[in-house]
């Protein structure tokens, strides 16, 4: 059952469970769908999608997986809709913020990225979002000295008052440059029980975090205070669990190989990250998939814990 909260054709609809939770002041956590449709193989993606929703519930919050289906932005998917998003033949586009208008207006379907998920979550009244990694400034390809490839996630976070819980940026990105962009856009960056900024598959990028926090109550207090004075989001960087961290030597080798692969295929734009991640998954024998799953589970659990604090 859906509760439509904006008129066609630009529709935003919440599941009855999510709508009831928000109306009653219960904690809700937004979840993206691109990680399911584009980041994990069929079969496993549905298992992970269900596991993420179960993890949020076990922590005392309501999950709101977000996607666009048949011209409707859905905040909270039914079991059937989740299966559709994860189906091998789903054929869903990857929707960043710039894509929402055209796809909604033309009745299309797609999976939401960090940028579009954050904006749709905020539009629905959800202030906490758990995901795997944040997009950022891409590393220059071999032979190049600069890049203009910057994820829309950063602009969305600069303008959307949502807490994003992730394991930092994917280590295939230029992390120092990305942190500079976040600073310029007044996005607080917090490290959860760490003094060093994580880099997705690795617990540390070697860079310090501006602020360390050690429990969900501290995070909730910072988010509440920030929202009194700014419209930007907050980034909570939660390192991958120690037992799930990739071997650093393997990681560095795969990254170098992946960048060479991207350059040799002349891949650019939104296609860069999927190609790099596919190389990681294939060349690591599935180790990166395991790491990806465990870090996102840890992140949505932490997101739910913070959401519960904010709702209390």
Residue ranges of the annotated binding site for substrate are 94, 114, 151-153
The answer for residues whose C-beta is within 8 angstroms of residue 248's C-beta and 6 or more apart is: 202
N- to C-terminal Cα separation, the chain:
27
For the purposes of burial, counting CB atoms within 10 Å of the CB of 8, is it exposed (0-12), middle (13-18) or buried (19 or more)? exposed
CA distances from 107 to 11, 68, 80, 186, 210 (A): 10, 9, 19, 35, 43
Is 174 in contact with 138 (CB distance < 8 Å)? yes
Compute how many other C-beta atoms are within 10 angstroms of the C-beta atom of residue 184.
Answer: 10
- From the CB of residue 278, how many other CB atoms can be counted at a distance below 10 Å? 16
Among residues 32, 196, 245, 293, the one annotated as catalytic is 32
Location of structure tokens 């992140």: 299
260 is catalytic: no
Q: Determine how many CB atoms are found less than 10 A away from the CB of residue 3.
A: 18
Decide if 265 contacts 99 (C-beta within 8 A).
Answer: no
- How many Å separate Cα 194 from the centre of its chain? 20
3-state secondary structure of 63: strand
Active site residue 180: no
Cis peptide before 157 (omega within 30 of 0): no
Q: Which of 53, 170, 196, 245 is catalytic?
A: 170
Contacting residues for 177 by C-beta, under 8 A, at least 6 apart: 136, 137
Query: Which residues define the annotated binding site for Mn(2+)?
Result: 149
Please confirm whether the linkage preceding 20 is cis (ω < 30° from 0): no
Which residues are catalytically annotated? 32, 170
């Amino acid at each position: 059952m859906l509760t439509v909260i904006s008129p066609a054709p630009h529709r935003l609809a919440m599941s009855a469970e999510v709508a009831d939770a928000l109306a009653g002041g219960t904690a809700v956590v937004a979840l993206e769908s691109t990680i399911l449709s584009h980041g994990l193989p069929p079969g496993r993606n549905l298992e992970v999608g269900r596991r993420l929703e179960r993890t949020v519930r076990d922590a005392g919050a309501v999950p709101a997986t977000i996607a666009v289906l048949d011209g409707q932005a859905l905040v909270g998917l039914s079991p059937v809709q989740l299966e559709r998003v994860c189906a091998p033949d789903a054929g869903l586009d990857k929707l960043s913020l710039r894509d929402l208008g055209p796809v909604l207006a033309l009745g299309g379907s797609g999976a939401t990225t960090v940028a579009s998920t954050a904006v749709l979550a905020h539009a629905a009244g959800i202030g906490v979002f758990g995901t795997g990694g944040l997009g950022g400034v891409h590393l220059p390809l071999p032979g190049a000295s600069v890049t203009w490839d910057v994820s829309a996630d950063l602009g969305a976070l600069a303008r959307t008052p949502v807490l994003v819980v992730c394991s930092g940026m994917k280590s295939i990105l230029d992390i120092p440059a990305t942190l500079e962009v976040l600073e310029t856009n007044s996005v607080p960056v917090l490290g959860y029980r760490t003094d060093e900024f994580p880099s997705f598959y690795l617990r540390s990028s070697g860079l310090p975090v501006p602020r360390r926090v050690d429990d969900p109550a501290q995070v909730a207090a910072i988010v509440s205070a920030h929202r009194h004075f700014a419209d930007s989001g907050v980034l909570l960087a939660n390192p991958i669990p120690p037992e799930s961290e990739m071997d650093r030597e393997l990681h560095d080798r795969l990254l170098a190989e992946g960048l060479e692969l991207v350059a040799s295929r002349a891949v650019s734009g939104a296609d860069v990250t999927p190609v790099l991640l596919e190389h990681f998954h294939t060349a690591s024998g599935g180790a990166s998939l395991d790491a990806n799953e465990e870090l996102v589970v840890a992140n949505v659990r932490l997101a739910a814990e913070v959401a519960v604090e904010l709702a209390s």
